[in-house]
């Protein structure tokens, strides 16, 4: 991309994506000050669904019957389930730590690709996976004050969420390669939005919370922004970045997201110790080795 006229635009999109995705963890934290984790997850999906609905209806004409079940599965793996898992994790974990752990997604993508889709990876990739997982363990046992304690089991929610992302990335590559990213995201959310709404209004005290809890509208605004920006707009931006650059360049957002998440966390009063920084460095090194091209 040295002499590529699209390079300035690509760099701008890369930084913008990192800012949007890196900010998502602090927005979840703000939403959790009023709402429960299931409510945050449901509101996030609803907001994203509503925002992309104008794109979904025109995209229906591009679909065949066999696409529908695949789109629902992709939406569940890539959007619906992770939305609930990440919110649940942040009830007991700092937003900065969840942002760092989110960087496991490329490693999980490699593992799922090898396990379910018979993809092969070479020795550097295996070494990267081992280093990344070691960083994850260190990150989840580091405590404030520099102490090392037991595993924070809520980190498992993040790991499972990253595995869901890994399944979805591979599924998109091998089962939905004939559809555009915007079509996949908008139509999947069109199906899943009503499911999230039914859950929110029938299985949670959302309506009562909105009526009686101070700060509820502000918290709702944070989650709505989360759904629109992190799930909807970021998908469109990432799709455009892929078109004007390369997948390898676009994937470098993985290294920037935890930096943004940590900055937001520190500004919000979160405390990080040396174990957290070593763990973050190990995960980023592991992701680099796992994805390095010769």
pLDDT at 275: 77
pLDDT at 79: 92
Grouped pLDDT means (10 residues each) for the chain, 294 residues: 70 88 94 97 96 93 92 94 95 87 81 79 73 75 52 85 88 85 91 96 96 96 95 81 67 76 88 78 77 59
pLDDT at 252: 67
pLDDT at 99: 85
| Extents of the domains making up the chain | 13-291
pLDDT at 182: 87
pLDDT at 121: 63
pLDDT at 287: 72
pLDDT at 249: 67
Sign of the Cα torsion 247, 19, 206, 156 reads positive
pLDDT at 84: 97
pLDDT at 62: 86
pLDDT at 200: 97
For residue 206, the number of C-alpha atoms closer than 13 Å in the C-beta half-sphere is: 19
Q: What is the pTM of this model?
A: 0.85
pLDDT at 197: 97
Cβ-Cβ contacts under 8 Å for 287 (sequence gap 6 or more)? 103, 104, 106, 107, 128, 132, 254, 255
């Amino acid at each position: 991309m040295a002499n590529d006229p699209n390079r300035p635009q690509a760099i701008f999109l890369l930084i913008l994506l990192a800012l949007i995705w890196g900010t998502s963890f602090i927005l979840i934290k703000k939403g959790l000050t009023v709402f429960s984790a299931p409510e945050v997850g449901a509101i996030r999906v609803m907001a994203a669904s509503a925002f992309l609905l104008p794109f979904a209806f025109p995209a229906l004409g591009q679909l065949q019957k066999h696409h529908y079940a695949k789109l629902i599965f992709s939406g569940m793996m890539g959007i619906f389930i992770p939305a609930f898992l990440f919110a649940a994790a942040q009830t007991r974990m700092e937003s900065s730590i969840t942002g760092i752990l989110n960087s496991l997604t490329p490693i999980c993508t490699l593992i799922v690709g090898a396990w379910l889709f018979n993809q092969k990876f070479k020795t550097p990739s295996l070494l990267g996976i081992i280093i990344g997982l070691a960083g994850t363990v260190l990150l989840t046992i580091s405590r404030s004050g520099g102490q090392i304690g037991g595993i924070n089991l809520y980190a498992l929610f993040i790991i499972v969420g990253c595995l869901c992302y890994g399944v979805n990335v591979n599924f998109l590559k091998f089962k939905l390669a004939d559809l555009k990213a915007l079509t996949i995201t908008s139509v999947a959310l069109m199906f899943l939005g009503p499911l999230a709404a039914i859950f929110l209004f029938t299985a949670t005290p959302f309506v009562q919370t909105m009526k009686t809890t101070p700060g509820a509208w502000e918290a709702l605004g944070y989650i709505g922004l989360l759904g629109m920006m992190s799930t909807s707009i970021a998908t469109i931006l990432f799709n455009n970045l892929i078109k004007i650059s390369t997948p390898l360049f676009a994937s470098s957002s993985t290294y920037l997201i935890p930096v943004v998440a940590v900055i937001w966390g520190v500004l919000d009063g979160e405390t990080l110790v040396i174990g957290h920084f070593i763990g973050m460095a190990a995960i980023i090194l592991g992701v680099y080795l796992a994805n390095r091209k010769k």
